[in-house]
Amino acid sequence: MEDSPLDSWADGCIQRVSQRGTDAILLDLFHPQAPLPSRRSRWLISATPGDSGIHPSSEPHQNAPKPPIFCLWLRTRILNGRVAPWVQLHPHVQEVAIERFQDKRVQRFHLVHENNGINSNLLLLDEDRHLLIALRNPNQSGRPLSKGKPYTLPSHWHQLRPETGEAPETAQAHGRKAVWQQHLKRLRKQLHRRLRHLEVDQASLSEAHCLRRWGDLLKSKLHELHPGQSEIIVLDHSENEPAEVHIPLNPQDSPQQNLEVLYRRAEKLEHSRPHVIRRITETQRQLQSLGAALEQLVTLGDESAVLAWGPRQPLWMRATLPREVNETFSKRSKASGPLVRTSSDGLEIWVGRNARENETVTFHWAKGNDWWLHAQGVGGAHVVVRNFGGELPTRTLQEAAQLATYFSKLRKTGCAEVDYTRCKHVRRVRDGSAGLVYFSQNRTLQVRLDSELVNQLLARTRL
């Protein structure tokens, strides 16, 4: 791995871990021996099909209220750990060892990144190189690997972007197309399985007439039944010649209960008939649509065609689509969570717009030396300015105070007094509701709302 940017990982300390979507994680490294200001770096480790790799990143950490299980495992194992140099296990598999002092001993873990096309993955191994957890299902690469088993390289390898030499946009489109194809084929198997079960249910609908006939015959002989009887033989005179009918009974039920069970089963089958027929017709129609979608997908080539084709598909086809290609989910997820913006000085500003988001930015995202702002004496947003040291720049302070005023109950008055202090001086109110805090060592700033400046901040692209 000569001349690789990953060489800078050596002797770094992992300070922050978060997960982006379902197939990527963000890591913050601190390099104590590096010259200022390059002691901190942020890296994106992605297992997204078509865009898998390890790259420097400037994306902000977006911590969910309930982090995914893979992210939680990383935080409890490798957070504050010291990183060794990356090792190349295979042309498309890299591994880094991480050591952390815990429980009076040094714990060692291995983080493995597999760049394997649509089966790219990220795995965490223990000291003995046994699998602890994987970001995606490791068995998709053709190996029987499960938790607690020794790590083995994938058995199946996909054609990757570096060998083809194609442009990143085309490779991303091919990755997006591959995910769509895999998803649609999986849906087709599910629909075929559903159709088989529905056909079995349709065949059992013919039992309704028999069960009701049994009930009518049993009603005429109800006075002859005895408790504990498991069967009764009744003559059926509905045909040309009388025939013996053997009616099974539950010996633990009374004669009246056996009669009610027969009628209830018959009624249930009769009521389910139109629903079963409707679902069979609907499943057959979905299978036809799925076949047509697969044929259309094969003809698509560039990224724009795949992006334009996806949203036109019916909702049932997109509902379980992976997040990295689900445009509907992506648009919805970007609008959720605390507001993230960048100040004129390049510092991140986080704004909580409700009690849950206030709790998130103040006690989950923020560090002790970050700056915290809030409109004085009224309900409003917790505003945090991410600061790596030193005093808060005046321009950034004014912009953060404008946001604190705008997202408070003093917005209509147009002016407010905004308190600001370090996040380490902010504490939760015991037994108080979410977002209820008290703080100390604060200073106060007089703010007059500037609508033009607020609009610029709200429209500004975040990091």
Q: Is the pLDDT of residue 381 over 90?
A: yes
Q: Sorting pLDDT into bands at 50, 70 and 90, what band is 239?
A: low
Beta strands in 348-395 (DSSP E): 348-351, 371-375, 383-385
Q: Considering the entire predicted model, what is its pTM?
A: 0.39
| Average pLDDT value for residue range 264-279 | 86
Instruction: With beta carbons less than 8 A apart as the criterion, state whether 46 and 323 touch.
Output: no
Q: Which of 141-145, 297-301, 445-449 has the highest mean pLDDT?
A: 445-449
Instruction: With beta carbons less than 8 A apart as the criterion, state whether 91 and 103 touch.
Output: no
Distances, alpha carbon 188 to alpha carbons 149, 289, 431, in Å: 32, 10, 51
> 112 pairs with which residues across the strands?
95, 123
Q: Is the pLDDT of residue 34 over 70?
A: yes
Q: In terms of Cα–Cα distance, which of 340, 285, 344, 342 is closest to 316?
A: 285
Q: Is the pLDDT of residue 405 over 90?
A: yes
Superfamily of domain 5-161: ibrinogen binding protein from staphylococcus aureus domain (2.30.310.10)
Instruction: With beta carbons less than 8 A apart as the criterion, state whether 419 and 385 touch.
Output: no
* Cα 112 from Cα 421, distance rounded (Å): 41
Instruction: With beta carbons less than 8 A apart as the criterion, state whether 384 and 372 touch.
Output: yes
Give the Cβ contact number of residue 346 at 10 Å.
9
Query: Residues spanned by CATH 2.30.310.10 within the chain?
Result: 5-161
Pick 244 or 42 by higher pLDDT: 42
Q: Is the pLDDT of residue 303 over 70?
A: no
Which residues, including other chains, have CB under 8 Å from residue 345's CB and lie 6 or more apart?
Answer: 393, 395, 396
Average pLDDT, the chain: 82
| Average pLDDT value for residue range 127-150 | 86
Q: Is the pLDDT of residue 181 over 60?
A: yes
Show contacts of 312-320: CB within 8 Å, 24+ apart: 314/289, 316/286, 317/184, 317/187, 317/289, 317/290, 317/293, 320/183, 320/187
Residue 94 is which amino acid? Q
Distances, alpha carbon 251 to alpha carbons 200, 225, 258, 298, in Å: 29, 11, 9, 61
Q: Sorting pLDDT into bands at 50, 70 and 90, what band is 332?
A: very low
Q: Sorting pLDDT into bands at 50, 70 and 90, what band is 319?
A: low
Helix (H) or strand (E) holding 211: helix 207-220
